């Protein structure tokens, strides 16, 4: 346990000092600030457009950072030699990988916190007041999807090179974002075999499920049971992906 905590702290510090950290915050905050243009698109649906744009920018920014850092932190550790040095000490490969992932997750949560704070400033700028608990839940589930994509990037980085991991993670992200919309858009003439396949993909890998911004302007949000189901779905996927990453990394030839 102490090994995981140490590696997590080191990873968090490395990412916080990384040259990408500040630009990532600036870009994420700027994109959220740009949602103010929604006021020129429609006054009656101002909040709906604001949340639709904000959630899209928030999720895509987080996915990009999670994928980039998830692949970079492992490739940098290998190229710098810190991976071999730390694993030559009494640190197991599983603890090392989990520590890297937890440190990455903490860095993502820190960036998400800055972006939620920006959202509060947007609220104040438009005289809406303080953000509600519903808004906190919306961005929390989006942040959970960031961490899920970080686990996917970690898995691919433990299998392949940095370039292949980036490419694979990007396309897996794309599949997760479109699986549910594609299922809903299937025509009645779609062959049953294809419908079953798309339904299976959407049931297993659906990143769109974490975007609950459509309920931002409604009188109700997800019920406690629905929130627990969504949280359980995300944690289950993270657990499965991380388990695969640990198995692969444990058996991988680090010199390859």
Domain that holds residue 172: 2-251
**Rounded Cα distance, 99 and 7, in Å:** 5
* Residue 93, in any domain of the structure: yes
User: Is the distance from CB of 190 to CB of 100 less than 8 angstroms?
Assistant: no
Q: What is the pLDDT of residues 172-229, one digit of tens each?
A: 999 999 998 888 888 888 888 888 888 998 899 999 999 998 888 787 889 999 999 9
The number of folded domains in the chain is 1
**Rounded Cα distance, 39 and 230, in Å:** 31
Q: Which of 68, 79, 70, 80 is nearest to 100 (CA)?
A: 70
Residue 30 is classified by DSSP as: H
| Three-state secondary structure readout of 1-42 | CHHHHHHHHHHHHHHHCCCCHHHHHHHHHHHHHHHHHHHHCC
* Residue 224, in any domain of the structure: yes
Please report the pLDDT score of residue 82 as a whole number: 62
Please report the pLDDT score of residue 80 as a whole number: 66
Taking residues 40-48, report their average pLDDT: 63
Taking residues 5-19, report their average pLDDT: 84
**Rounded Cα distance, 74 and 248, in Å:** 14
Position 130 confidence tier, pLDDT thresholds 50, 70, 90: confident
* Residue 22, in any domain of the structure: yes
Position 123 confidence tier, pLDDT thresholds 50, 70, 90: confident
* Residue 256, in any domain of the structure: no
- pLDDT at residue 253 greater than cutoff 70: no
Position 101 confidence tier, pLDDT thresholds 50, 70, 90: very high
């Amino acid at each position: 346990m102490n090994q995981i905590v140490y590696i997590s702290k080191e990873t968090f510090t490395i990412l916080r000092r990384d040259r990408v950290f500040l630009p990532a915050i600036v870009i994420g905050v700027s994109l959220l600030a740009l949602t103010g243009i929604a006021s020129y698109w429609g006054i009656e649906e101002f909040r709906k457009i604001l949340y639709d744009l904000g959630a899209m920018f928030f999720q895509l920014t987080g996915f990009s950072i999670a994928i980039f850092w998830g692949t970079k932190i492992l490739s940098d550790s290998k190229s710098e030699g810190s991976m071999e040095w730390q694993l030559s000490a009494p640190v197991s490969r599983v603890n090392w990988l989990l520590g890297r992932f937890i440190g990455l997750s903490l860095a993502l949560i820190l960036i998400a916190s800055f972006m939620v704070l920006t959202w509060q400033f947007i609220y104040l700028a438009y005289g809406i007041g303080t953000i509600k608990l519903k808004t906190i839940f919306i961005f929390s589930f989006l942040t959970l999807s960031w961490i899920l994509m970080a686990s996917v990037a970690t898995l691919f980085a433990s299998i392949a090179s940095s370039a292949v991991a980036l490419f694979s993670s990007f396309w897996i992200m794309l599949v997760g974002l479109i699986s549910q919309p594609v299922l809903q858009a299937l025509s009645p003439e779609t062959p049953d075999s294809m419908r079953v396949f798309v339904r299976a993909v959407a049931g297993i890998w659906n990143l769109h499920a974490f975007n609950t911004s459509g309920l931002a302007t409604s009188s109700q949000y997800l019920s406690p049971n629905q929130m627990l189901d969504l949280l359980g779905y995300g944690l289950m996927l993270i657990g499965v992906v991380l388990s695969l990453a640990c198995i692969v990394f444990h058996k991988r030839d680090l010199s390859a």
